Amino acid sequence: MTLHPAAPDSGIVFRRSDRGGAEIKACWRNAVEQPLCTRLDDGEGLSVATIEHLMAALGGLEIDNAVIELDGPEVPVMDGSAAPFVFLIECAGIAEQDAPRRAIKVLQPITVGEAGKSAALTPDDGFSMSFAIDFASDAISRQDIAITVDPESFRSDISRARTFGFLHEVDQMRAAGLARGASLDNAVVISGDQVLNREGLRYVDEFVRHKVLDALGDLYLAGAPILGHFRGVRSGHALNRRLLKALFADPSAWRFTTLARRMPPEAAWQEAPRRARA
């Protein structure tokens, strides 16, 4: 996989070099419902699977425009989190483009749900997320988290949380042709009430933090950052996609707005004396 710079307002685009450079846009309209990962499909045989961790890295670091070139149908799993993508993106550098940054402002509450699961967006001035999970396994049990999402909190509190699953789910994904390289090196694997990974967990509540990471990646398929609060209760990729579909189906529930530029701390320090003298 190679990440390339892209022009302003071009968005996130996946390019399959093994398919003659065919491209598919990272958009909720191109996402198909699949329980264990997020997959883009153009309906004509072009697809890219397991995009959610990379999309979370792009969303968490506020990357609006990029071309992701792949030589196969699935994004590399890396260590099962977004941290390797964050590290490599920041090593390459992030350029500020000469164009206003658009966002999607939530104006009215939108909720979708089924069988004890729900996903909701409500109005807010910034972007925050909360999530609750409840598993029968004592290794996970009940976990709940709330966080205001910005690049700093994403790096420290969310990006390192790894994907997790039970042994039977790993077998299910492999049968579907996904996660062929899945191992204890790139996922937290649970058997009954035990975590099988020798090194243990990166966060005490790593499981719910990874659900936030997944939801962030799914929500970035909106095509722009969201101003609002996301609340997930045992929701997954399919329900997160339905939430975006419900949001955009109601024109009164959202509008585009322009975000103010985020000023780095050192720039703010340098700017203060000039403002004082003006």
Alpha carbon of residue 262 to chain centroid: 20
Q: Smallest Cα–Cα separation from 205: which of 160, 168, 153?
A: 160
Amino acid at 28: W
Q: Which long-range contacts (CB under 8 A, 24 or more apart) does 167-171 make?
A: 167/191, 169/36
Query: Annotated catalytic residue: which of 53, 210, 229, 237?
Result: 237
Assess contact for 220 and 28: CB atoms under 8 A: no
Helix ranges (H only) for 12-153 are 52-60, 83-92, 151-153
Residue 218's CB: how many other CB atoms inside 10 A?
29
Q: Alpha-carbon distance 210 to 99, whole Å?
A: 32
Strands 117-122 and 127-134 come out as unpaired
Q: What is the three-class DSSP state of 212?
A: helix
Let me know if 4 is a catalytic residue.
no
Name the residues annotated as catalytic.
237
